[in-house]
Amino acid sequence: MSLINGLPAHVLLVHIVVVLVPLTALALVAAALWPRAAQRLGPLLPFLALIALVSVPLTTQAGEWLERHVNNDALVRRHTEMGDGLLPWVLGLFLFAAVVWWAARSVPAEPVRGGRMRWSAPPVRIVVGVLSLAVAVGAVVDVYRIGDSGAKAAWHDTVSKTATGTDDGS
């Protein structure tokens, strides 16, 4: 993928990642910590995570195309290297979203007897909640860091710290 309507695809696709990864992370944490939220979200949670997961390699591939078409710069290389690390985090979001969704839909109406553990049991929910929180925080922090490095790479030598033109108020 290279251009969309004359613009580098990466510049457009990155917005999907920047919106969906934090949104998915927030929904995952809510669903993992509150079973009622998981039941209300239903299949939307893994669907959202799947779209986020698919968007990451598309955005990365478009970014690699863009990297070959801009000046060779240390900031661009750093951004590209950082971008390659997001996929494992978003894969984790997807896997935990699928587990939380599956667990919420498979919870029996009656308590399980015979000492068997069920997904809605507090210890299991705590473990899944803590792991989901860790993956969600990691994904959001990584998106922030990658986005920050991309903004620095794109704008570091473009904007002047002082006004360069006259402001005529129009």
Residue 87 has a pLDDT of: 97
Q: Give the DSSP H or E segment for 12.
A: helix 9-33
Specify the residue for token string 């910590």: 33
Low-confidence ranges of the chain (pLDDT < 50): 109-110, 117
pLDDT tens-digit series, residues 138-168: 999 999 999 999 999 888 777 666 777 666 6
Residue 21 has a pLDDT of: 98
Residue 110 has a pLDDT of: 47
For the chain, counts of helices (H) and of strands (E): 6, 2
Residue 10 has a pLDDT of: 94
Q: What percent of the chain has pLDDT over 90?
A: 61
SS3 48: helix
Q: Give the DSSP H or E segment for 7.
A: strand 7-8
CB 56 within 8 A of CB 83: no
Residue 160 has a pLDDT of: 64
Residue 161 one-letter amino acid: K
CB 102 within 8 A of CB 50: no
SS3 4: strand
